[in-house]
Chains A and B, each alone.
Chain A
Amino acid sequence: GENVEQHPSTLSVQEGDSAVIKCTYSDSASNYFPWYKQELGKRPQLIIDIRSNVGEKKDQRIAVTLNKTAKHFSLHITETQPEDSAVYFCAASIRNYGQNFVFGPGTRLSVLP
């Protein structure tokens, strides 16, 4: 089945710097890759997603890139702010009867003022 790896597990950056989180997946049939942000004790919230027919997607300070050949995708956050501090999860879709997700183990991002 699908396996999703995520690196790094923790990341500290200075406010204003960029942060990059990378994920790899194993199932070449996966075609949808969302990124979720989860603050302590709260629900995961979708921040950006990308489908396999697109190589890059950007939304203000957040961008995601996808390399289907290498089976990896990355989250890029520019001009980081303290409120970006959270745990970020990548996920890859697996196709059974629906669109189930396999999540990565998460990256704890700390933005230092």
Chain B
Amino acid sequence: GAGVSQSPRYKVAKRGQDVALRCDPISGHVSLFWYQQALGQGPEFLTYFQNEAQLDKSGLPSDRFFAERPEGSVSTLKIQRTQQEDSAVYLCASSASIGETQYFGPGTRLLVL
């Protein structure tokens, strides 16, 4: 079946601009995760959803970052007033349930100029 998909694959934003990144998890997957991956580093946890409930947002770096999953499937990560330090690859992952394998999407590469 189809894997995790993300859009856009690439996004260039001017500093101060708002951006929205979309994640389509594997159909039926209950858990959805967002990670931020800086160049040459491992993914860092941002936030986690169980169905539509955002159960952990401890990794969001500031209140400019906001994520939602209103119907328990597609999720959107929004970054307001982007800064240069927000430049990174944003990865989405989904798993069938708690404790199961996480499958990653291809990521959205964000460049803030």
A residues neighboring B (CB under 8 Å): 6, 32, 34, 36, 42-46, 49, 89, 91, 93, 96-106
Contacts and interface: CB of A to CB of B under 8 A. Distances in A.
B101 interface: yes
A103 B42 contact: yes
B40 to A, nearest CB: 8
Interface stretch (B43-51, B68-76, B80-88): B43-51
Interface residues of B, number: 27
Contact of B55 (A42, A43, A44, A96): A96
A46 B103 contact: yes
A100 B45 contact: yes
Given A32-B99, A46-B103, A98 B91 contact: no
Given A97-B56, A98-B50, A100-B33, A34 B102 contact: yes
Interface in B29-48: 31, 33, 35, 40-45, 48
B42 A106 contact: yes
